[in-house]
Structure 1
Amino acid sequence: MQTEAVAQLIRAGLPDAEVEVTGDGSHFEAVVVSDAFAGLTPIKKQRLVMDTVREQIASGELHALSIKTLTPDQRPA
Protein backbone atom coordinates (compact mmCIF):
# COMPACT_ATOMS: atom_id res chain seq x y z
CA MET A 1 0.00 0.00 0.00
CA GLN A 2 1.02 3.56 -0.56
CA THR A 3 0.87 6.23 2.14
CA GLU A 4 -1.77 8.22 0.25
CA ALA A 5 -4.00 5.14 -0.06
CA VAL A 6 -3.88 4.69 3.73
CA ALA A 7 -4.61 8.39 4.24
CA GLN A 8 -7.60 8.19 1.86
CA LEU A 9 -9.07 5.25 3.77
CA ILE A 10 -8.81 7.15 7.04
CA ARG A 11 -10.29 10.31 5.48
CA ALA A 12 -13.18 8.25 4.06
CA GLY A 13 -14.01 6.93 7.52
CA LEU A 14 -13.39 10.24 9.31
CA PRO A 15 -14.36 12.87 6.72
CA ASP A 16 -13.54 15.89 8.89
CA ALA A 17 -10.06 14.61 9.78
CA GLU A 18 -6.71 16.03 8.81
CA VAL A 19 -4.54 13.02 8.06
CA GLU A 20 -0.79 12.68 7.53
CA VAL A 21 0.63 9.23 6.82
CA THR A 22 4.26 8.19 6.48
CA GLY A 23 5.65 4.72 5.96
CA ASP A 24 7.59 2.23 3.90
CA GLY A 25 4.89 0.23 2.15
CA SER A 26 3.99 -2.18 4.96
CA HIS A 27 4.57 -0.25 8.19
CA PHE A 28 2.85 3.12 8.48
CA GLU A 29 2.49 5.95 10.96
CA ALA A 30 -0.59 8.16 10.89
CA VAL A 31 -1.23 11.46 12.62
CA VAL A 32 -4.96 12.12 12.63
CA VAL A 33 -6.50 15.39 13.81
CA SER A 34 -10.27 15.40 14.22
CA ASP A 35 -13.04 16.97 16.30
CA ALA A 36 -14.47 13.42 16.48
CA PHE A 37 -11.83 12.59 19.13
CA ALA A 38 -13.09 15.19 21.62
CA GLY A 39 -14.01 13.57 24.92
CA LEU A 40 -12.98 10.05 23.87
CA THR A 41 -10.56 7.80 25.68
CA PRO A 42 -7.28 7.02 23.91
CA ILE A 43 -8.43 3.48 23.08
CA LYS A 44 -11.69 4.74 21.54
CA LYS A 45 -9.72 7.21 19.41
CA GLN A 46 -7.47 4.38 18.20
CA ARG A 47 -10.48 2.19 17.43
CA LEU A 48 -12.12 4.93 15.37
CA VAL A 49 -9.04 5.11 13.15
CA MET A 50 -8.43 1.35 13.04
CA ASP A 51 -12.05 0.80 11.94
CA THR A 52 -11.25 2.77 8.76
CA VAL A 53 -8.53 0.28 7.73
CA ARG A 54 -9.82 -2.94 9.32
CA GLU A 55 -10.41 -4.65 5.96
CA GLN A 56 -6.88 -3.94 4.73
CA ILE A 57 -5.34 -5.19 7.97
CA ALA A 58 -7.45 -8.36 7.91
CA SER A 59 -6.38 -9.09 4.32
CA GLY A 60 -2.71 -8.45 5.09
CA GLU A 61 -2.57 -5.60 2.59
CA LEU A 62 -1.74 -3.28 5.50
CA HIS A 63 0.68 -4.87 7.93
CA ALA A 64 1.13 -2.31 10.70
CA LEU A 65 -0.25 1.12 11.51
CA SER A 66 0.93 3.30 14.36
CA ILE A 67 -1.59 6.01 15.17
CA LYS A 68 -1.34 9.38 16.90
CA THR A 69 -4.73 11.00 17.47
CA LEU A 70 -5.28 14.65 18.28
CA THR A 71 -8.15 17.08 18.51
CA PRO A 72 -7.63 20.39 16.71
CA ASP A 73 -6.88 22.03 20.09
CA GLN A 74 -4.07 19.54 20.72
CA ARG A 75 -2.37 20.15 17.38
CA PRO A 76 1.22 21.35 17.73
CA ALA A 77 1.72 25.03 17.01
Structure 2
Amino acid sequence: MPMAILDIQTMLLEAFPDAEIEIIDLAGDGDHYKAVIKSSAFAGLSRVKQHQAVYAALKGKMGGELHALALETSAKE
Protein backbone atom coordinates (compact mmCIF):
# COMPACT_ATOMS: atom_id res chain seq x y z
CA MET A 1 0.00 0.00 0.00
CA PRO A 2 1.44 3.41 -0.96
CA MET A 3 2.33 6.01 1.63
CA ALA A 4 0.31 9.22 1.78
CA ILE A 5 2.06 12.57 1.33
CA LEU A 6 0.82 13.69 4.75
CA ASP A 7 2.42 10.63 6.39
CA ILE A 8 5.76 11.36 4.70
CA GLN A 9 5.63 15.02 5.76
CA THR A 10 4.74 14.08 9.33
CA MET A 11 7.68 11.69 9.66
CA LEU A 12 10.09 14.21 8.17
CA LEU A 13 8.86 17.04 10.41
CA GLU A 14 9.31 14.83 13.48
CA ALA A 15 12.98 14.45 12.55
CA PHE A 16 13.50 17.96 11.17
CA PRO A 17 11.10 20.30 13.04
CA ASP A 18 12.40 23.46 11.35
CA ALA A 19 12.22 22.01 7.85
CA GLU A 20 10.54 23.48 4.83
CA ILE A 21 9.19 20.44 3.01
CA GLU A 22 7.55 20.04 -0.37
CA ILE A 23 6.42 16.58 -1.49
CA ILE A 24 5.54 16.10 -5.16
CA ASP A 25 3.72 13.03 -6.54
CA LEU A 26 5.77 12.48 -9.70
CA ALA A 27 3.58 9.90 -11.43
CA GLY A 28 0.18 10.62 -9.92
CA ASP A 29 0.11 7.10 -8.53
CA GLY A 30 0.86 7.79 -4.86
CA ASP A 31 3.97 5.64 -5.18
CA HIS A 32 6.65 7.83 -6.79
CA TYR A 33 7.53 11.04 -4.99
CA LYS A 34 10.07 13.82 -4.91
CA ALA A 35 10.84 15.54 -1.62
CA VAL A 36 12.43 18.98 -1.44
CA ILE A 37 13.65 19.52 2.11
CA LYS A 38 15.45 22.53 3.60
CA SER A 39 16.58 22.21 7.21
CA SER A 40 19.27 23.65 9.43
CA ALA A 41 19.97 20.04 10.46
CA PHE A 42 21.70 19.58 7.09
CA ALA A 43 24.27 22.33 7.70
CA GLY A 44 27.80 21.01 7.29
CA LEU A 45 26.64 17.60 6.03
CA SER A 46 27.51 16.16 2.65
CA ARG A 47 24.64 15.42 0.29
CA VAL A 48 25.04 11.69 1.06
CA LYS A 49 24.79 12.33 4.82
CA GLN A 50 21.75 14.56 4.29
CA HIS A 51 20.00 11.81 2.33
CA GLN A 52 20.96 9.19 4.90
CA ALA A 53 19.38 11.39 7.59
CA VAL A 54 16.16 11.55 5.56
CA TYR A 55 16.10 7.76 5.08
CA ALA A 56 16.65 7.31 8.83
CA ALA A 57 13.73 9.67 9.52
CA LEU A 58 11.51 7.46 7.37
CA LYS A 59 12.13 4.56 9.78
CA GLY A 60 12.46 1.72 7.30
CA LYS A 61 9.53 2.74 5.11
CA MET A 62 11.80 3.42 2.11
CA GLY A 63 11.72 0.49 -0.29
CA GLY A 64 8.58 -0.89 1.34
CA GLU A 65 5.53 1.31 1.80
CA LEU A 66 7.47 4.12 0.15
CA HIS A 67 8.53 2.74 -3.22
CA ALA A 68 10.42 5.66 -4.78
CA LEU A 69 11.55 8.97 -3.36
CA ALA A 70 13.80 11.40 -5.21
CA LEU A 71 15.50 13.77 -2.78
CA GLU A 72 16.59 17.37 -3.03
CA THR A 73 18.05 18.49 0.29
CA SER A 74 19.77 21.65 1.45
CA ALA A 75 20.64 23.54 4.58
CA LYS A 76 18.59 26.58 5.53
CA GLU A 77 20.48 29.84 5.18
- If the length of structure 2 is used for normalisation, what is the TM-score? 0.82
Which structure: greater helix fraction?
Answer: 1
Match of 2:76 among 50, 72, 75: 72
Residues in 1 aligned to 2:59 and 2:68: alpha-carbon distance in whole angstroms: 11
2:18 alignment partner in structure 1: 16
Q: Letter of the aligned partner of 1:20 in structure 2? A: E
- Root mean square deviation of aligned Cα: 1.3
Task: Give the ranges of 4+ consecutive aligned residues of structure 1 lying more than 3 Å apart after TM superposition.
Answer: none
Q: Is the 8 A contact 2:43 2:76 kept in 1?
A: no
Spell out, residue by residue over 1:2-61, the C-alpha distance to the aligned partner (whole angstroms, 9 max, x if none).
112111111111122111111131111100010111111110011111111132125x11
1:61 alignment partner in structure 2: 65
Count how many residue pairs are aligned between Structure 1 and Structure 2.
72
Which consecutive residues of structure 2, in runs of 5 or more, have no partner in the other structure? none
Which consecutive residues of structure 1, in runs of 5 or more, have no partner in the other structure? none
